[in-house]
Amino acid sequence: MYLYGASGHAKVILDILRDQGISIHGLFDDDTSIQELQGIQIIKSFYKLLEIPLIISIGDNRQRKRVAEKLIDVQFGNAVHSSAIISKTATIGFGSVIMQGSVIQAEVVIGNHAIINTGASVDHDCIIDDFVSISPHATLCGSVKIGEGTHVCAGAVIIPNIEVGKWCTIGAGAVVIRDVPDYAVLTGVPAKIIKYSSLIM
C-alpha cells in the first residue's frame, strides 16, 4: 500500500495496515520539507506508481477530495482495523478507512474515501457518501444519510432517519434531530445551525 499525506491521520492508518500485515511501500506528501514518517521515506515523484493501491491519508475532507481528483489511473485501497465490527451486508467503497473499535451495522453503504474513526457507531441502513468523516465515538442511528464531504465531529449523535446534506459540519457533542441543509455548521443539543461554510465544493 502507498499512502498520500504524511499527517497524524496517516500514523493511525499505518497502525491499521501493520495490524493487517499489509506492507507499506511508501508515502507521498505535497510538502517537500517532510522527509519521513515513522521511518518511511517520503517519495518525491509519482513516477511508476501504480500496480500497488494507495490510500489518501489526509483527515480534511476537502483536501482529500482535491487530492483524489488529481490522482488519475490510481487504484485505491482500504484500511480496516481488525477490531472494527462490520456487518457482512455492509458495503464500503474504495479508499475508505475503518478505524479501531468502530461498528458498522446491517446494510450500511459507505462511499469512497470516507473515514469511520475510532469507536464510531453506524447503525443499520445508513448511507454515507464519498469524502465523509465520522469522528471518534460519533453515533449515527438507523437509516441516517450523510452527504458528500460532511464532517460529523467527535461524539455527535444523529437520531434515526435524518438526512444531512453535503459539506456540513456537525460539531462535537451535537445531537441532530432535524434534517440538515448543505454546507450548514451545527452545534449543541439539540443541534442548531450556527453558520454556513463559505468553502463551496
Q: Is 124 a residue of the active site?
A: yes
Pairing of strands 54-56, 91-92: unpaired
Residues 76-105 that bind ligand COA (CB under 6 A): none
Q: Do the Cβ atoms of 90 and 111 come closer than 8 Å?
A: no
The footprint of ligand COA on this chain (CB under 6 A) covers a number of residues equal to 13
Return the number of the residue (61 or 78) whose C-beta is nearest ligand COA: 61
Dihedral sign computed on CA atoms, order 186, 147, 116, 199: negative
| Closest distance of CB 101 from ligand COA, Å | 14
Residues 101-160 that bind ligand COA (CB under 6 A): 117, 135-136, 153-154
Amino acid at 2: Y
Q: Which residues pair with 128 in a beta bridge?
A: 110, 146
| Closest distance of CB 51 from ligand COA, Å | 32
Q: Which three cell numbers stand for residue 43?
A: 517519495
Residue-by-residue DSSP string for 85-113:
EE-TT-EE-TT-EE-TT-EE-TT-EE-TT
- Asked if 175 is part of the footprint of ligand COA (rule: CB under 6 A), the reply reads no
The one segment of 21-29, 31-39, 94-102, 169-177 that binds ligand COA by CB under 6 A? 169-177
Could you tell me which of 179, 121, 111 has the C-alpha nearest to residue 155?
Answer: 121
Instruction: Give the binding site for ligand COA (CB under 6 A).
Output: 117, 135-136, 153-154, 169, 171-173, 185, 187-188, 194
What are the residue numbers of the active site?
Answer: 124
